[in-house]
Structure 1
Amino acid sequence: MKTLIALAAASFITPGAMASGVPSPEGENYSFDTIYVRQTLHCYVHFLPHDEGSHSGPVTFGCRGDDPSPGFENSGEWSLEGGMVSVDVPQALWTMQFSDCAQWPSVEVGYTLMAPCWMISETDDKIELRRDS
């Protein structure tokens, strides 16, 4: 009977609510706003689609301001080594690393991820990422 109850309870958990060891193979897109040099920047982090079971994959990071300048975009890679995921995007505004998480944080589309452990701000600001897709 306990097994039946556990199976029934598990059926109500959505796939996106279950933590996994790496970003979703379909990709995960986040956006956030921040202040940098007294200017509001609109930024994004995209974990691009990758093969199921992969231990690495591409990621892009970019920001643009309210002014007409084009902003910037940098590419990098996430990788799973020794049970820990690291995210490396050279020349990003933030040091992005997966340092204090036991698992990849799971957040449903449309919700906010508060102070993700894989993205540490150089200014110690608390980053709030919205999952867009």
Structure 2
Amino acid sequence: MAELIETMPGANTEPPVLLLQGTGGTNQEMLAFGRRLAPQSPLITIAGRQGEGQQRQYFSQTAAGPVDDQQVQMESLWLGQTVQQVCQSRHWDATRLITVGYSNGAAMAAYGLQSGHLPGKTAVLFRPLWLT
């Protein structure tokens, strides 16, 4: 799963930023966006485990069917644990984490923060999907 995670160093005095892409997005695109958004912050981007290549998602979704609540919860737990491990290994303060998400990633960010799975209390959500 290491291929799903990419980081970019920054000043340890700045809050780390977690970047979660939408379907079709890439870690490289999110890191470039994150660097423009928070030039001095350490950056973390973690691709979803559902799907392959550039069709990765944090949870499966279709226009015709509902979202699997159990899958969302499991992926949110995994994402939160992974973020904690990355922050700890790099000596970044996870309690100051700012989460930025787009579409599928924004929905996962909202769920992760509301459920307490993701550290931090701040999020910027672009075009979040409804999970109900």
TM-score (norm 1): 0.28
Larger RCO, structures 1/2 (Cα 8 Å, 6+ apart): 2
Higher helix content, 1 or 2: 2
Higher strand content, 1 or 2: 1
Larger radius of gyration: 1
